[in-house]
Structure 1
Amino acid sequence: MHQPSPVPLVSPVVYKGSQGGQRVRAIHHPFPQSTIRDLCKAHRDYGRDSPYFRGLLRSDLDAAVVIPADLKQLFSCLLDSTEFKLWVAAWRQQLREALPSLLRDPETVVDDNGNPLTLEHLMGEGRWADPTDQTTDIPIKALQVTREHAVSTFFGMVPDGPVVPYYKIVQGAKESFTKFVGRLTQAIEVQVTEVAPILVTSSRHEPYRLQLTEALHLRTADWTFLSINTKEQGAWPVQGKELVIIGDSSIDERPTKKLNWLTNKPVWVEQWPLSKPKLKALEELVKEQLAKGHIVETDSPWNSPVFVIQKPGKDKWRLLQDLCQINNVIEDMGSLQPGMPSPTMLPQNWQLDVIDIKDCFFQIPLHPDDAPRFAFSVPTINREAPRRRYHWRVLPQGMKNSPVICQWYVASLLSPVRAAAGQAIIYHYMDDVLVCAPNDDMLSHVLGLTVDALVAAGFELQEEKVQWMLPWKYLGLEIRKRTIVPQKLAIKTKELSSPRVLTPEAEKALEKVQDAMSKRQAHRFDPELPFKFIIMGKLPHLHGMIFQWRNIPKKDREGNDPLSIIEWAFLSHQRSKRMTRPQELVAELIRKARFRIRELAGCDFECIHIPIGLRLGQISKAMLEHLLQENEALQFALDSFTGQISIHRPAHKIFNSEVKFVLSLKEVRSRRPLKALTVFTDASGRSHKSVLTWKDPQTQQWEADIAEVEGSPQVAELAAVVRAFERFPEPFNLVTDSAYVAGVVSRADQAILQEVSNIALYDLLSKLVRLVSHREQPYFVMHTRSHTDLPGFITEGNRKADALAAPAEMAPLPNIFMQAKLSHQLFHQNAPGLVRRFHLTWEQARAIVAVCPSCSQQAVPTLHAGVNPRGLRSCEVWQTDVTHFPQFGRQKYIHVSVDTFSGAMFASAHTGEKAGDAIKHLIHAFSFMGILRELKTDNGPAYKSRELRSFLQQWGVEHKTGILHSPTGQAMVERTHGTIKRVLHQQQRVPQDRVTIGLNQPIVRHFGASSLFGVNERPQVMVRDPGSGGTEGPHDLVTWGHGYACMSTPTGPKWIPAKLLKRMLYKLVSTPHSPTINHLVASLEDRREEEELDQEEVLEGAPDDKEGRNPDEEEHRLGYPMQHH
């Protein structure tokens, strides 16, 4: 083995000898922080090229044996992140060139362990990444070469920026122009060694101030000046005056998603006033966004209010827009990334970098058609000037589809990078991008592709937020080489609007949460190991762990943990069932874990550890099959699983430190009836009796245990079951007619209860679970149907229990009708059901249903087949339709309305059959026949229109339509069409007169039966007494007919012959068309010859009105043909 030469005992590597002094042992001591601090201060104050800094650096490095890890630590402090990467790359190249000479030197051809010297030795990478291995294995001469090349690389780097600022480079008074240009060129060349061949910018809109010349570094004197022509793009655009640049340019259109809008009607939400400080901040932010091209001036008819909020702890403000109303009219986009990527699937010891995109939304364009809809206004104080209005050209914050579009846009940029990345892994979630690769070279390559793709699209990357070194912070987690832990959380109470005081219990709870989060950690996975799953915890809080296990013997571990925790699996705190068996909890955990591992790794577990308790021996295939057969949830959870199932835990303290959960295969409930005592249970909600009955096997007598329990019948029967388990510890069969109770008993063994609001029910369930779980003897539970006439012992026992639970008034009744009535009170059967069950007649069944108050309220009124609903009085139900009469020319559309009670009809001729024509007809009909309550029409477009529906609502008319394509629903008005056409063919007048002269005999009944046309005061009459010859009265005349009259007397209405009316005092106080008077006149005219004297007496005393007109004569001058109305 190569023996190192003696060296001074200096830091950071110190060589100590053994007691004999023949062998030395290297011990690593990192650079003192004071030394690094002094070097950084000298570098900052005096510069890299200052003699003081150069001398200080060389003296510190020459006086020590420095390993590569110390060199990286030192120069990472002296350089920024970008310079450090450049330094590492240049250092690597120099060491690669120096490696052949080291391999030819006998002192450096191999390390201290006999391994050939490699570049990984010199760089401190791979197997020699540990500082201890670098100290003990790398030869001292190789370390000295490594140090010299690191220092030479550092001083050979080009400084960032010119030595002299550009604005200080001026041409002297006697300096020639060529010399001045040479100095300026030298200052420019110091910036970068190579000129980028292609420069991409996202500024395609005005202003055309493209920052091309700022980023384009020129080295040659052959400058070709060309100009951009945004209208005629080509390989070599023509010269113009807009902007002079170097080289050629083109515009690359980036696709973007177009939003789907639920309406095109503009949404305008008025801007609320802002205070002066906030208005000033808003104007500054708008000016900033306008300069960046994120917003433009607009005259859009859309508007949403904007406001500003101050960033916590800073003097900066943030611009926000209230887009609630806009979001309501935007169609949702489906989620592209329903969750965050898990860093546990990053392979161990792979290198990674994290990139944070600055203002990601503001770099993604909106579709030009959508942009004007995201407009806002900048108000002014006291409206002293017109407000300025703008709209966004990029994704606005607050729009509900902005996250989806952002994910889609960035993913489209990274898709070609992923295709070229090879083994590298790229995680993208919103504006965070993580790049992971197995080595630095691949990481640098993929990172460069990623950065180029993002920068080319116009994204701005924050240099200070690009994470190069561990620990990497990503999505609230700290990622290290092997482990992943949550970031430290701090509750900031400075910005809370109200004080909060924590109780001691709450403080303890928070301490537990903080302690658990600090101790819990996950690991990055090993690609060479399979995944496993184990169930842990104790009932009812079971949980599981997805892990990897490296088979390392205990004696060879030496601090290497064989366990790698990938992820934890937990059950839902709120369970869907009141009683859950342990097998179901285990099945739910397995189902969740298998679903999750497919999401993470796209594979299944190699082994699932299920802690199954066995008394003796090992689990057999038959026992496992029996467990699966007895539990449906486990069958679904382990469906198509091809791995192993183990009942043993791996040998690790995390699996053995807590209380172990064991799934018991023992089951007390028998699947078959037992040859033992049979117990019957029943309960009644009306009598509140909880009954337990059985047949004594010795005396062969039925015995019972009856108790009163408040609550539902299920609760009462559950109480009976609990008493049965308390009373009979020996084997027995339980028979119940409650399916709920039978299901509860079958699931009670070792079940987990969920708290319920019913305290009595929870107590009974708790007792049942405790009794069944601690029971030693088997039992069998069976459900049977009640109230059956089947023979056998089960039916007999159930009938006994039912009779004991029934109240006294529920005893069997000999009267079948009373039984049917009581049955209907409980179950509310319909009439056919009562006929089939109790063999009643249809009349008896209908009578029982009709007198039931519950059924009568819910019953649907029935009508005889073929009968159209008719009104019970005038103006209740009309039928309206349209018929055509070609002889009328343009007025050939005849609208007809018929009163279904009186048969009165009204028709009018119109030039069309649209909604407007129907409304005109109804207005005429209202003026003639009165306002109706319900209108029935067919399903024509005019009658289904919104205009007619609004008109009828204004008049308070209910509108109904008949069955589609069924004219029988309008039978009355259809028959009226034929009647009208037959009459019209017999007349030769103008259309409206011909329509008006219809068969209107029912008009008398129409007006006579309506209370709307009744008189408020009736005429008074004198009645002649045929016996005494005197007269009585005056009395109010109620009605008058052919030879009869009815008058109102103090003793009630009195009918008398019309000839006994001696004299009438005619007072016309009703409307000019009083139906009662018209009826009277019509009747007298019909018998003019018989009652001429009586009519003269009636009209003799009728006074004239104030204008000297006789009311009766006015009544006969009606302009309608229906004067008999």
Structure 2
Amino acid sequence: MVTLENPWAYPQNTQLKMLVDTGADVTCIPLRMWPKNWPTDQGGSLTGVGGNAKAYRSRFALKLTLHDPDAKQHDQKFLMGATGTAASEIRAIPLKWKSDDPIWTDQWPLTSEKLEAAQKIVARELEQGHLEPSNSPWNSPIFVILKKTKDSYRLLHDLRRINQQMCDFGQLQPGLPVLTALPENWPTMAVDIKDCFFSIPLHSRDRERFAFTVPSVNKQEPARRYQWTVLPQGMKNSPAICQRVVADAIAPVRTQHAAGVMIHYVDDILMAAPSAEGLQEMAADLRRCLAAASLAINEAKVQKGPGIKFLGAEIGHSQIKPLPITLNPDVRTLHDAQALVGSLQWLQNMVPITPSQMQPLYEMLKGRNPWEEKRLTAEAKETLKNISEMLSHPSVQRWDPADKITLYPVLNRQGGMAVLGQGQPERMRVIWWVTPTRPAGAFVPHSSLLARMITKGRKTCISAFAREPDAIALPFKKGTDAQTETFAAAMAMAMEGFPGEIQHLPHLQPLRHLDIIEVGGPARVLPTPKPGNTVFTDASSKTQTAAVAWQENGEWKEATFRAADVSVQYLEAKAVEMALRMFPDDHLNITTDSIFTYNLVRQMATQGWAGTPIATMLEDALQARTGTVCITHVRSHSKIPGYYQEGNAEADKAAGRVMTLREARDLHEWLHVGAKALAKTCHIPISEARGVVATCPYCCRRPLQEGGTNVRGLMANQVWQTDFTLCQRLRPDPWLAVTVDTYSGMIVATQHRKTTSRAAQKHWAYAIAVLGLPQTIKTDNGSAFTSASTEGWAQRWGIKIIHGIPYNSTGQAIVERANRTLKQKIDVLGEGEGIPEHSAIPREKQTEILQKALYALNHHLRGENSHEPVAKHWGGTSPTEGPEVQVKNPATGEWETGWRLLTQGRGYAAVASAEGGPEAARWVPTRWVKPLLRKIEAHRNSSDT
């Protein structure tokens, strides 16, 4: 009589009367004796005396008990029907596919060395039965890489497109196991299953999808094609199938050795038992079960404690510490920063890395593109230094099943974390650090953070140690306001169903290094108003102004704040923040028409974690107060009369009073004109216009002021200056032909591929159509201006061309300055469009930006001029003789008379002799001219007489 036990079915056991050969590989029983509810798999077809019979095999290994005093228990898989199929055959798990359409990716060429290595690897795997010849319509490329030892190659199969067509298996083991769940001082052993993937068959109907081609040199022979018969490396479901197969194979060991601990992760197995003898028995049974499933242990990787290295940790008798890792401080890009932070995430359960310590590293993750430049800050370097020191010391202990587990939730400035510990609080042994929770949302009260950490700590304890914490130590004193009022609802949810003891340890010394903050305190934001000062807040998106209004001695007072390029939500919150900083020691009633700010401040009744700049701004203002606050919401522009609407109207009026300033800012963002042009066009003070220009991130770097002295015309179209200048922002037509009228300062520019005579003539024809016909054009002596073709063109138009020396300030300074001004304006407008500095402007935008630059320069005030260039060009008159002046003769140094002043500017003046008239004007520096006082003195003498 024997008893078969199957813990994965119902009924779990059955008794049979049969003859058992305990040394046989396969034991067969009739199908009629097999319980109907016990799962089976196909076992093949068997041939016996009576003919062929279909055979089945038990899906799980069964426990067999012989009812005889001398019998021993052993595990064995059974077949039903007749002997013929090996019991060690592993059931192949079929894959599910999104489509049956073949995928073919061509094999790329391989060098002779790599091709030879691939052929050797394929021949070896073919001999071992891991590959078979293929005629599949699927194909994926292969390649080989050197192993870490640099003495051999490994074969890699690119299955990315195949994986996209494959359905995912569900997660069998999400996350890593908690290694401190190993009881302390229990002997441990770690084993690795040898070639686990290659020991598990691939379902026959799925094999053709994993075919590949081994090419030949120069196509000298037909390529050889193969397909995998076992789980291939790189197939996304291989780890899940491996986990399932190994879990089924070792299930009897778990049942038989229920007193021990077995941690299985993919193909790694860690065992612990109360005694060394029990561990040896467990290991022996494990070998037997794995062998029954055609799996083998890699003897070279068997580890016995202490000092076992498993899943990135080193396991001692009572302590566990992470294995040393290399923290790369050479961070250059956002991708490097992400890799660095990712390498630290899994350490947080074994090393007390607080959220505040990680904050400098989290700040480096801000960005959108992986190639963005990043550098470690001083705070980040200090964090890495501290973490490196902590890695060298054991930080978590293996647990004692006989001792109580206490959950210690704590809060700090950057969030919350919790500790699972054993022993007295003063000498607490940490068995697990519950991963810090980084709150989500604009503001999270400390009560919610504490509740989250309690809930997460309870779940972690149940998951890892299969029981609730025996006690929870709350970080505040019993009977405080935090416990009885503010935290009541959140704590009730977190503690729901907790069967253990609740302790109050607000001054837990072993955890002081975590930058713990005290929890509790009275409410600072009240739900109802109280007697005190009342203020009204409002903001305007048009004027980008936040305003606060209040009454003082019967008169309305106001305070405003202006900021460019911020959201209206920020301005609404800024107005409330300004109000919070008023009357800090008294109760304050705030009235706002922003429902967003109203709800946010109401959430801040007690201290908490601020997760956005707006919430941080309001939290800082609340912490700076000693008086309480009540915030009230009213509808804006309501027709209901009353005090609230009167105050809201005053705040609204204060916020919308600077419309012209907003218009000036919009005009500058569009054309980037100077302060003087803004002041005149938008009717604002010059000081505010300069402030607009100063806040522009593009214009504040470039001086747009004009200056210098040069000979110029005394009327429009009298003298032009023309030059070619290179503007790389306008590639592939980077040459600008620039003409400036020296009287009005009006600029005309055209874009060209090369600096040729034809380009110069084409540019002048366009300039004549815009400005009119000039009398004289001054250029440098470049070939485009001195060629016979250009001379002939000028004669036909009746224009006189004067040549100077390139970049000579005495002849071409006006156009050189115009070149600089125009290119600076193009740069500013380009950056304003979001085009990076020094990058080429897209061709479809080049014409628009060039014309916008010319419009901004010609139709708005520029430099020290009192009129726009276009107005001066078309509205100017010929100069008349002005007052008599004295002019210094540079040769003799004497002051000569007989001159009259025609015009003057910044540093220059035009004078003409009494006989010559305006046509014979002479340009001199201003310091060489002074008024003639002779007639004034004579007039005074005659008056005295």
With the shorter chain as reference, the TM-score category is 0.5 to 0.7
Q: State the one-letter code of the partner of 1:543.
A: M
* SS of residue in 2 equivalent to 1:727: coil
- Structure 1 residues 706 and 669: CA distance shift in structure 2, 3 A: same
1:420 aligns with 2:261: no
Q: Could you tell me which of 112, 119, 134 is aligned with 1:276?
A: 112
Distance in 2 between the 1:298 and 1:795 partners?
83
* Partner amino acid, structure 2, of 1:522: V
SS of structure 2 residue aligned to 1:719: helix
Corresponding letter in the other structure for 1:511: K
Q: Residue in 1 aligned with 2:531?
A: 675
TM-score (norm 1): 0.45
Q: CA deviation at 1:358?
A: 1.1
The equivalent residue for 2:139 is 303
1:641 aligns with 2:491: no
Aligned to 2:126, which of 260, 277, 290? 290
Aligned pairs, number: 550
- Aligned pair in 2 of structure 1 residues 664, 230: CA closer, same or farther (>3 Å)? closer
How far 1:603 sits from its partner (Å)?
2.8
* 1:627 paired residue number: 486
CA pair 234-547 structure 1, distance change in 2 beyond 3 A: farther
The gaps in structure 2 that reach 5 residues or longer are 1-20, 28-42, 53-82, 330-334, 338-373, 661-945
Tell me what 2:406 maps to.
Answer: 532
Alignment pair present for 1:397 and 2:397:
no
Instruction: State the Cα distance separating 1:452 from its structure 2 match.
Output: 0.6
Q: What is the one-letter code of the residue matched to 1:527?
A: P
Aligned partner of 2:446 in structure 1 is 582
- Does 1:793 find its partner at 2:643? yes
Sort the Cα spacing of 1:661 and 1:442 in 2 relative to 1 into closer, same or farther, 3 A: same
Give the letter aligned to residue 456 of structure 1: A
The amino acid across from 1:422 in the alignment is A
Identity percentage of aligned residues: 32
Among 469, 490, 493, the alignment partner of 1:605 is: 469
- In structure 2, the residue matched to 1:549 is 423
Distance change >3 Å, CA 661–CA 623, structure 1 → 2 = closer
Post-superposition CA distance 1:157-216 (Å, at most 9, x none): xxxxxxxxxxxxxxxxxxxxxxxxxxxxxxxxxxxxxx9934589xxxxxxxxxxxxxxx
Q: Classify 1:486/1:735 alpha carbon distance in 2 versus 1 (closer, same or farther; 3 Å).
A: same
Which has the larger share of strand?
A: 2
Structure 1 pair 724/663, CA: closer, same or farther in 2 (3 Å)? same
Tell me which residue corresponds to 1:513.
Answer: 387
For residues 726-754 of structure 1, give each alpha carbon's deviation from its aligned partner in whole angstroms, at most 9, with x where no partner exists.
33232121111111222333345644444
CA 808–542 in structure 1, closer or farther in 2 if over 3 Å, else same: closer
The secondary structure found in structure 2 opposite 1:254 is coil
1:720 correspondence with 2:605: no
Structure 1 residue 256 displacement after superposition = 2.3
What is aligned with 1:480?
316
Report the alpha carbon displacement of residue 451 of structure 1 after superposing the two structures with TM: 1.0
1:405-437: CA deviation from partner (whole Å, max 9, x where unpaired) = 111111111222222222122211111011221
Q: 1:368 to 1:638 in 2, by over 3 A?
A: same
Using the TM superposition, give the Cα deviation of residue 672 of structure 1 relative to its aligned residue in structure 2, in angstroms. Answer: 2.0
1:893-922 residue CA offsets vs partner (Å, 9 max, x unmatched): xxxxxxxxxxxxxxxxxxxxxxxxxxxxxx
Alpha-carbon offset, residue 344 of structure 1: 0.9
Aligned to 1:78: none
Match of 2:279 in 1: 443
Distance verdict in 2 for CA 1:396–1:200, change over 3 Å: farther
Contact 2:92 2:201 in 1 (8 A): yes
1:1116 maps to: none
Alignment CA distance shift 1:291-1:268 (3 Å): same
Aligned partner of 1:778: which letter? T
Residues 364, 706 of structure 1: alpha-carbon distance in 2 compared, 3 angstrom cutoff: closer
> Contact 1:649–1:655 at 8 Å: present in 2 too?
no
- Which secondary structure does the structure 1 equivalent of 2:468 belong to? coil
Q: 1:263 to 1:808 in 2, by over 3 A?
A: closer
Q: What pairs up with 1:654-669 in 2 under 5 angstroms?
A: 654-656=510-512, 659-669=515-525
What is the Cα deviation at residue 315 of structure 1? 1.3
Counterpart among 386, 405, 428 of residue 563 in structure 1:
428
Worse-superposed segment, 599-608 or 429-438: 599-608
SS in 2 for 1:376: strand
Structure 2 match to 1:739: 595
**C-alpha distance in 1, partners of 2:531/2:327?**
66
| Shift of residue 513, structure 1, vs aligned partner | 2.4
Equivalent residue for 1:51?
Answer: none
Contact 1:570/1:589 (8 A) holds in 2: no
Partner residue in 1 for 2:620: 770
Q: Matches of residues 945-956 of structure 1 in structure 2 within 5 Å?
A: none
Distance in 1 of aligned mates of 2:471 and 2:260:
28
Q: Give, in angstroms, the shift of residue 650 of structure 1.
A: 7.8
Match 1:780 to one of 619, 623, 630:
630
Check if 1:458 corresponds to 2:294: yes
Matched, 1:595 2:459: yes
> Which residues in structure 2 correspond to 1:189-228 (within 5 Å)?
197-198=23-24
Q: Could you list the per-position Cα deviations for residues 923-969 of structure 1 after superposition, in whole angstroms to 9, with x for gaps in the alignment?
A: xxxxxxxxxxxxxxxxxxxxxxxxxxxxxxxxxxxxxxxxxxxxxxx
Q: CA deviation at 1:293?
A: 1.0
Aligned partner of residue 448 in structure 1, secondary structure = helix
Q: Report the RMSD for the aligned CA atoms in angstroms.
A: 3.7
- Look up the SS of the partner of 1:460 in the other structure: coil
Task: For 1:468 and 1:714, locate their aligned partners in 2 and report how far apart those are by CA, in whole Å.
Answer: 62
Q: Distance in 2 between matches of 1:510 and 1:660?
A: 21
1:503 and 1:739 map into 2 onto residues whose CA distance is 40
User: 2:484 is paired with a residue of what secondary structure?
Assistant: helix
Distance 1:295 1:707, change over 3 A: closer
Deviations 1:10-51 (A, max 9, x none): xxxxxxxxxxxxxxxxxxxxxxxxxxxxxxxxxxxxxxxxxx
Q: Within 5 A, what are the aligned runs for 1:16-415?
A: 197-198=23-24, 232-233=46-47, 250-252=85-87, 253-415=89-251
State the match for 1:22 in structure 2.
Answer: none
**Which letter does structure 2 place at the counterpart of 1:626?**
E
Q: Distance in 2 between matches of 1:502 and 1:788?
A: 52
Structure 2 CA distance for partners of 1:502 and 1:684, relative to 1, 3 Å: closer
Distance in 1 between the 2:377 and 2:595 partners?
A: 47
- 1:540: how far off? 2.1
Secondary structure in structure 2 of the residue aligned to 1:721:
helix
Partner AA of 1:783 in structure 2: H
Instruction: Name the SS of the counterpart of 2:619 in structure 1.
Output: helix
Distance 1:744 1:259 in 2: 51
Q: Match of 2:101, as an amino acid? A: K
**Residue pair 1:529, 1:550 contacting (<8 A) in 2 also:** no
The whole-number CA distance in structure 2 between the counterparts of 1:200 and 1:477 is 41
Q: Which AA in structure 1 matches 2:23?
A: P
CA distance in 1, matches of 2:46, 2:533: 100
Whether contact under 8 Å (1:347, 1:527) holds in the other structure is yes
CA positional deviation for 1:610: 2.8
Q: Could you state the TM-score of these two structures normalised by the residue count of structure 2?
A: 0.53
Distance in 1, matches of 2:634 and 2:265, equals 58
Q: Secondary structure at the match of 1:312?
A: coil
**Compared with structure 1, are the counterparts of its residues 294 and 803 closer, same or farther at alpha carbon in structure 2 (3 Å cutoff)?**
same
1:563 positional shift: 2.4
Q: Distance in 2 between matches of 1:740 and 1:800?
A: 21
CA distance in 1, matches of 2:558, 2:375: 57
CA pair 387-766 structure 1, distance change in 2 beyond 3 A: closer
